């Protein structure tokens, strides 16, 4: 049996779920919290999702598919980045699961990325996602 390495980032945000949901699904906000990435999707289940940008001087276009879109509590999509250096085949794709839990008027945002090949890769991904969810918190709380 292959060991699973899921990267998990979670943060409590002093804003209602609807506000946090609006931030994570808005392309303008995504540019701010996702490292200046251009987010392109219509959020239809089964439809494509693309992230375009420049990372460390190198242009990229990541892609995936929207698997679940359940406002304002759960978003699930696949994700593949050519910057990983891996072949674009399903076994190298990740699933990103965004859950938003209402906790007394605040929101606990949890982002989980599956299919990390090693514990080291999982820690690297978790560090990136920790930065991202902290930025979502900043955006959601300033409104």
21 belongs to a structural domain: yes
Digit-coded pLDDT (tens) for 53-96: 988 888 999 999 999 999 999 999 999 998 888 899 999 999 99
2 belongs to a structural domain: no
Specify the number of domains making up the chain. 1
CA end-to-end span of the chain, whole Å?
46
CATH number of the domain where residue 31 is located: 3.30.530.20
pLDDT at 1 over 80: no
Digit-coded pLDDT (tens) for 30-49: 999 998 899 999 999 999 99
Confidence label for 4 from pLDDT (cuts 50, 70 and 90): confident
Residue 52: which domain range?
A: 7-142
Distance, in Å, from the CA atom of 71 to the CA atom of 100, rounded to the nearest integer, reads 9
pLDDT at 126 over 50: yes
Give mean pLDDT, residues 124-137: 95
């Amino acid at each position: 049996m292959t060991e699973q390495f899921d990267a998990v980032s979670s943060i409590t945000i002093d804003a209602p779920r609807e506000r946090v949901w609006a931030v994570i699904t808005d392309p303008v906000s995504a540019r701010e919290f996702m490292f200046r990435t251009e987010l392109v999707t219509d959020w239809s289940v089964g439809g494509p999702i693309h992230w375009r940008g420049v990372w460390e001087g190198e242009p990229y276009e990541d892609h995936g598919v929207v698997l679940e879109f359940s406002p304002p509590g759960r978003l699930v999509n696949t994700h593949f980045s050519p910057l990983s250096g891996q072949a674009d085949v399903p076994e190298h794709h990740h699933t990103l699961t965004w859950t938003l839990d209402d906790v007394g008027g605040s929101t606990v945002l949890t982002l989980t990325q599956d299919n990390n090949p090693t514990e080291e890769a999982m820690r690297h991904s978790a560090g990136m996602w920790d930065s991202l969810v902290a930025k979502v918190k900043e955006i959601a709380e300033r409104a």
